[in-house]
C-alpha cells in the first residue's frame, strides 16, 4: 500500500516563499503529482516528478527524492490567489491509474 503525509495547514505572507512537504511510504511508484485545489473547486494539475531533483515552472517548483521518500512544492513570490489546498499524489508502478492522494495542505496567504 501507499501512505502519504502532508501538514494539514500552513500560513505564509504575501510575497514570501513557502515550502509544502510531502513524505510517503510505498513499495514502489512511477511518479509523484502535485495539484492545487481552491475551496469549492476541482483540483488542477501543477506538476509530475518522475526523476529525482527539482523541476521549475514559473513561480512553482517541485522536488523529489526517492531515496528519502520525500517531495516538496516550492511557491515563490506568494500571491493572495495562492491560498488553496495543495495535494500530493502518487502514481504506482503497476497500476498506472490507481493514483493515491494525500489529504492535502491548506495554505493561507496573508497580507
Partner 1 sequence: NAGVTQTPKFQVLKTGQSMTLQCAQDMNHEYMSWYRQDPGMGLRLIHYSVGAGITDQGEVPNGYNVSRSTTEDFPLRLLSAAPSQTSVYFCASSPGTDRGYTFGSGTRLTVV
Taking the complex as a whole, the smallest distance from the CB of residue 13 to partner 1 amounts, in Å, to: 27
Q: Which stretch binds partner 1 (CB under 8 A): 21-29, 54-62, 73-81, 91-99?
A: 91-99
Number of CB atoms found within 10 A of residue 21's CB: 15
Number of H helices, E strands in the chain: 0, 11
- Do 46 and 73 form a contact (C-beta atoms < 8 A)? yes
Pick out residues in 29-68 that bind partner 1 (CB under 8 A).
30-31, 33, 35, 41-46, 48, 50
Round to whole Å and give the CA distance between 67 and 57: 23
User: By the criterion CB under 8 A, which residues form the site for partner 1?
Assistant: 30-31, 33, 35, 41-46, 48, 50, 87, 89, 91, 95-104
Amino acid at each position: 500500500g501507499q501512505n502519504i503525509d502532508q501538514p494539514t495547514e500552513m500560513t505564509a505572507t504575501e510575497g514570501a516563499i513557502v515550502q509544502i512537504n510531502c513524505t510517503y511510504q510505498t513499495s514502489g511508484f512511477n511518479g509523484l503529482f502535485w495539484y492545487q485545489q481552491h475551496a469549492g473547486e476541482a483540483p488542477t494539475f501543477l506538476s509530475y516528478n518522475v526523476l529525482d531533483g527539482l523541476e521549475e515552472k514559473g513561480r512553482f517548483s517541485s522536488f523529489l527524492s526517492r531515496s528519502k521518500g520525500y517531495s516538496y512544492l516550492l511557491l515563490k513570490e506568494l500571491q493572495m490567489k495562492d491560498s488553496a489546498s495543495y495535494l500530493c499524489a502518487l502514481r504506482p508502478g503497476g497500476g498506472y491509474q490507481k493514483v493515491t492522494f494525500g489529504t492535502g495542505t491548506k495554505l493561507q496567504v496573508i497580507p
